[in-house]
Amino acid sequence: MALTLKSGFSFDYDNLFGEGKVTAADIDECKDALAKAHAAMKVMRDTGFIKAHLSKDGAPEKVYFSKLPYITEENGKLNLNSPASIKRLHAFTEKIRNNVDAVVSLGIGGSFLGNKVLFDVFCGEFWNTWTPEQRKGLPKVYFSGQNIDPRRTGDIINHLKAMAANKQTHGGGKFKVMLMCMSKSGGTLDTMSNFMVILDALKKVDTIEVECVAVTDPNMEKKTLLKQIAVDNGWECFAVPDGVGGRFTVFCEVGLSTAAVIGMDIEKFLEGARDMDKACQNDDIWQNPAMLNAALKVIAYKKYGRNIEVMMPYGDYLKSLSEWYIQLLAESLGKQFDKEGKEVCEGRTPLVAVGTTDMHSQTQQHQEGTLDKVVQFIKVEKWANDLVIPNVFPNVKKLADISGVTMGDALEVARQSNADALKSNKRFNACFTLPEVNEYHLGEIMYLLAMSVAYEGELLNVDAFNQPGVEAYKRIMGPKLQELKAKSHA
């Protein structure tokens, strides 16, 4: 059983629904809750209103992520995607083409994870080793700010210095580095500490020219720290809009500024998200991918104890998609209290896996361990550059037997074998299929997952758009850092 869209995107839930799994009766028992959840999604799209949702400051806050796939003049008033903002992103691409040697994207959480998905999927591991011509004049890209790690930060600085020295040796002039600092609050410790360390170090190198870009809250009346610094220094700015939580920002200028850096087709990415949003407006659960996905996962969790979701794409460069999903699911649904303030300690736990890699590490637990998991596969139907396994050792039967097939076909045989084995031992699993890896289909699956957690929040009666648990450690951390600073100056 599968729900397949006109685009070819498919959600195969055969190993999650039916006898011995989530049943039609289970779905029917939830029909009233599903109808309410679906109605809540319509209100959210129309007005931005989500029942009981408050900002981290305790004030009512609209939710606007569902508007992001739509490029309209009206969105410009909310600092969302408009014709003017998309035009500016294209201009940004041309500004840096053949003019910037390296971009360091600094961010954490939603300001890192979604951007890393875009880079991994469309650039791959070896982008920074390509020539400028191979990159079509676009820069090398590095990520920082996602941890306060002195060794890695030092390594990035030394690497940039070495590239600058090499360019100078070959008469290429100054090495141009753009630091893209991303923080909605403008004061995120992890990001800002890395930003200041790297900026300070590079400004002391004669062979390096540094340019900064700020991605932060655009409010000019009450500027964030980063916004004020950017204004004072005349830096270019992009917006982290109100009403769009970090885990959803891949569809706004946070993610799209990185898309612009690597020359990704922004309109196609948003088109995929937009078409998925339209599919998710269907009143029929069996034709609505997000509602169906959410219903099956919530029922598997609440009735059958499957409180862990293993997100397992088959493809190395899709691992970061699974890592992005970790934040999406954990922050959206891991809540101590429901919308009425009752303590519920709710939410499923997400785990990262990659096929076939983790078939050789995690699958033993998936196959025979505790019955508490749903394994969610992602497969690619058609690989852009598939490779045939050659018959290099014809006298070695075991190796000769696998020759003549493509690596993509072998990968799918491995995935299907894993799915069949799990099914044979009452292990719930399902599969999303991307017809191919491109901007459109990536937009589809990322938006589907975002809308799915919105539905789950309603079904579980928790606020899927706040993150009070994240604020708890921050309140403790601030004073501790002040104590540390005082001791260092004593």
Domain range for 85 is 81-240
> Quick one: 212 and 300 in the same domain?
no
Q: pLDDT value at position 212? A: 98
* Same domain assignment for residues 86 and 43: no
pLDDT score for 288: 98
Q: Are residues 235 and 274 in the same domain?
A: no
299 and 446 assigned to the same domain: yes
Tell me what pLDDT residue 486 has: 77
477 within some domain: no
Residues 459 and 325 reside in one and the same domain? yes
Q: Return d(Cα 446, Cα 487) in angstroms, integer.
A: 46
The 10s digit of each residue's pLDDT in 82-139 is 999 999 999 999 999 999 999 999 999 999 999 999 999 999 999 999 999 999 999 9
Give the position of tokens 């992103």. Answer: 89
Alpha carbon of residue 33 to chain centroid = 28
Share of the chain above pLDDT 90, in %: 92
Does some domain include residue 60? no
Give yes or no: residues 284 and 404 share one domain.
yes
Q: What are phi and psi of 197, to 5 degrees?
A: -65, -45
**Hey, is 403 helix, strand or coil?**
coil
Confidence of residue 55 (pLDDT cuts 50, 70, 90): confident
pLDDT at 490: 65
Instruction: Classify residue 176: in a domain, yes or no.
Output: yes
Handedness of CA 45, 50, 56, 58 (dihedral sign): positive
String of b and e for 107-129 (b: at least 16 CB within 10 Å)?
bbbbbbbbbbbbbbbbbeeebee
For residue 67, the model assigns a pLDDT of 98
The beta strands (E) that lie in 314-447 are given as 335-337, 343-346, 349-352, 373-382, 428-436
For residue 482, what pLDDT is reported?
Answer: 80
Asked whether residue 312 falls in the same domain as residue 395, the answer is: yes
Helix 113-122, helix 253-261: angle, nearest 10: 30
CATH code, 44 = 3.40.50.10490
Among residues 201, 221, 240, the one where a domain terminates is 240
CB of 334 within 8 A of CB of 346? Answer: yes
Kindly state whether residues 310 and 220 are assigned to the same domain.
no
Same domain, 216 and 307: no
pLDDT at 489 over 80: no
Flag whether 444 is in a domain: yes
Angle subtended at Cα 111 by Cα 105 and Cα 116, rounded to the nearest 5 degrees:
65
Domain boundary pick from 221, 240, 259: 240
Residue 261 belongs to some domain of the structure: no
Whether residue 472 is predicted with pLDDT greater than 80 in this model: the reply is no
User: Which residue, 17, 8, 52, 35, is CA-closest to 462?
Assistant: 52
Specify if 225 maps to a domain: yes
236 and 364 part of one domain: no
pLDDT tops 70 at residue 328: yes
The answer to whether residue 406 scores a pLDDT higher than 80 is yes
Q: What is the pLDDT of residues 276-322, one digit of tens each?
A: 999 999 999 999 999 999 999 999 999 999 999 999 999 999 999 99
Identify the pLDDT of residue 476: 83
Give the pLDDT band (50/70/90) at residue 54.
Answer: confident
Q: Which residues are catalytic?
A: 331, 360, 474
**Domain-embedded: residue 214:** yes
| Model pLDDT for residues 212-227, shown as the tens digit of each residue | 999 999 999 999 999 9
Q: What is the mean pLDDT of residues 362-369?
A: 98
CB 298 within 8 A of CB 33: no
| Average pLDDT, rounded, for the chain | 96
**Are 303 and 393 in the same domain?**
yes
Q: Which residue has the tokens 């028992």?
A: 29
82: nearest Cα among 92, 90, 91, 72: 72
Mean pLDDT of 319-331: 98
Pairing label, strands 140-144, 428-436: unpaired
Amino acid occupying residue 17: F
**Is the pLDDT reported for residue 400 higher than 80?**
yes
The answer to whether residue 168 scores a pLDDT higher than 80 is: yes
Secondary structure element (H or E) that encloses residue 177, with its range: strand 175-182
Question: Domain check: are 169 and 273 in the same one?
Answer: no
The verdict on residue 475 lying in a domain is no
The domain total for the chain is 2
